[in-house]
């Protein structure tokens, strides 16, 4: 029985044209889908938080095993395309994906992420994942989705007033 990660990979491969989806962009779509869904709902689409820091950015530890499982089950095939940046692994679906595991909101998040990542080059997509959580982790160290789900913002006067009121309540110096 396929895992949710396998089903998600299969679905993304079925939606994005092969010439616009190599292994790097596929991995980024999975990562950003899990991060964005976690921001909105407090859980990941893949139902796991098993990502590691890699040179190209966060990668689900079961990514390549899942791709291999899909190839082994003849649900997808892999081909190599020559690009200006070098060879790209492209994936083509053979069988339609099983999507009944996913909710409408999950699919909506995946499509939003696809629409954002699809026009980018693999390098541009990879660079997006090199933020604070990536810099804070060592190579192959765990990268929790919840750490990447934090949205950084500017501190304004209202934020400072709230912080100072909480500090006063707890007798802490502001």
Task: Calculate mean pLDDT across residues 48-52.
Answer: 88
Q: Which residues pair with 59 in a beta bridge?
A: 52
Taking the C-alpha atoms of residue 162 and residue 158, their distance in angstroms, rounded to an integer, is 6
Percent above pLDDT 70 for the chain: 89
Q: Where are the domains of the chain?
A: 4-169
Taking the C-alpha atoms of residue 67 and residue 75, their distance in angstroms, rounded to an integer, is 10
Instruction: Say what the pTM is.
Output: 0.83
Which of 99, 88, 83, 89 lies closest to 14, judged by CA?
99
Predicted pLDDT of residue 52: 84
Predicted pLDDT of residue 131: 67
Which of 24, 91, 32 lies closest to 56, judged by CA?
24
Predicted pLDDT of residue 116: 97
69: CB partners within 8 A, 6+ apart: 2, 6
Token pair 């679905």 is found at 11
Taking the C-alpha atoms of residue 45 and residue 35, their distance in angstroms, rounded to an integer, is 9
When comparing pLDDT for 156 and 119, which is higher? 119
pLDDT tens for 133-151 read: 655 666 666 677 777 777 6
Q: Which residues pair with 90 in a beta bridge?
A: 22, 79
B/e letters for 79-93, b = 16+ CB within 10 Å, e = fewer, are eeeeeeeeebebbeb
Q: Can you list the pairs that 13-21 forms with residues at least 24 positions away whose Cβ atoms lie under 8 Å? A: 13/70, 13/76, 13/91, 13/92, 13/93, 13/97, 14/93, 14/96, 14/97, 15/111, 15/114, 16/114, 16/118, 18/79, 18/81, 18/90, 18/91, 18/92, 19/81, 19/90, 20/118, 21/90, 21/91, 21/118
Least confident of 5-14, 60-69, 137-146, 153-162: 137-146
């Amino acid at each position: 029985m396929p895992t949710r990660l396998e089903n998600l990979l299969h679905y993304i491969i079925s939606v994005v044209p092969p010439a616009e989806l190599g292994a790097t962009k596929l991995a980024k779509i999975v990562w950003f889908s899990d991060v964005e869904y976690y921001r909105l709902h407090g859980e990941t689409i893949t139902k796991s938080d098993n990502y590691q820091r890699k040179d190209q950015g966060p990668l689900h530890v079961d990514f390549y095993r899942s791709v291999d499982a899909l190839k082994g089950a003849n649900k997808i095939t892999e081909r190599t395309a020559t690009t200006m940046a070098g060879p790209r692994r492209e994936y083509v679906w053979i069988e339609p994906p099983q999507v009944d595991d996913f909710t409408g909101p999950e699919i909506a998040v995946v499509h939003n992420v696809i629409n954002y990542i699809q026009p980018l080059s693999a390098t541009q997509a990879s660079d997006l994942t090199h933020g604070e959580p990536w810099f804070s982790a060592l190579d192959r160290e765990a990268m929790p989705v919840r750490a990447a789900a934090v949205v950084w913002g500017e501190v304004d006067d209202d934020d400072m007033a709230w912080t100072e009121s909480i500090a006063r309540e707890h007798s802490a110096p502001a």
